[in-house]
A and B are shown apart, each in its own frame.
Chain A
């Protein structure tokens, strides 16, 4: 990743315009060709610097729901439980964290009722208690990080 990649990532975190040739504006700003911008973007996705590039959908605005939930997973079962939890399409993110509650995942469901259904299914399949922590209030969300 070089200085131009960093600039590109910062610009892309602001959002791509919705116009016929959206990469052309970025190319001008970065003094690259349109093809170079697309090539760099492909590289950043291929090497995992970017985990995703595209529309960022908001489950709650679509009539669905989001929640954060945690599990206390015994170390020797961690990989097996990861596989079970990740297999649910509703699990949007999942992180291992340094705590007795060592697995933290975000559920994004199309309807509010599905949250409880998925949590019950995860409990049934893992045999572990799911600690459900839906937000009661959001104070701030800013997903941008300086590259």
Chain B
């Protein structure tokens, strides 16, 4: 489990990594430990899956992806795992999940996020998903994001 130093590392980097030639040494100095310790802790958290990777999160719009659609589908329950796995394999699907319905207003149980630079591109992506689901989907909708209201990632409280 996470100890106090891990938590300090998380807090120090939740807004981002220091932008300097030796970011881990910079963190170490702030934490009063040596750089090797910081790197060991980060590697251990990466191995445990606590850190997916040390990476960049782009703003989709700024990269030209104007059509960011959450496609949602009402899929027959006993087929959803097989079909969800197939939809998840499409290279343009960034996330694919089975989520609960909220009947009667929200009948959709399969969510697949798609991203495209053009309207025809996104329509083609939706058609490909529809083709996989075939007659096992009863209805669907596409919810486009129109504004990023917040995008910060995980925050933890000081303890």
Contact = CB atoms under 8 A, between A and B. Distances in A.
Interface of A: 1, 9, 12-16, 18-24, 34-35, 38, 41-42, 44-45, 47-59, 61-64, 68, 82, 85-86, 89-99, 101, 103-105, 108, 110, 131-143, 145-147
Given A20-B35, A110-B156, A137-B97, A53 B17 contact: yes
Contact of A16 (B17, B50, B85, B144): B17
A58 B51 contact: yes
Contact of A18 (B39, B97, B155): B39
B145 A38 contact: no
Chain B contact patch, size range: 35 or more
Contacts, number: 234
A50 B42 contact: no
A11 B48 CA distance: 23
12 contacts: A18-B42, A20-B24, A68-B97, A86-B150, A94-B150, A95-B145, A95-B148, A95-B149, A139-B84, A140-B85, A141-B96, A145-B58
A59 B14 CA distance: 12
The DSSP consensus for interface residues of chain B is mixed
B4 interface: no
B146 A92 contact: no
Interface of B: 1-2, 10, 13-17, 19-25, 35, 39, 42-43, 45-46, 48-60, 62-63, 65, 70, 80-81, 84-85, 87-89, 93-100, 102, 106, 111, 115, 141, 143-157
A16 B151 contact: no
A138 B96 contact: yes
Nearest to A24: B21
B20 A38 contact: yes
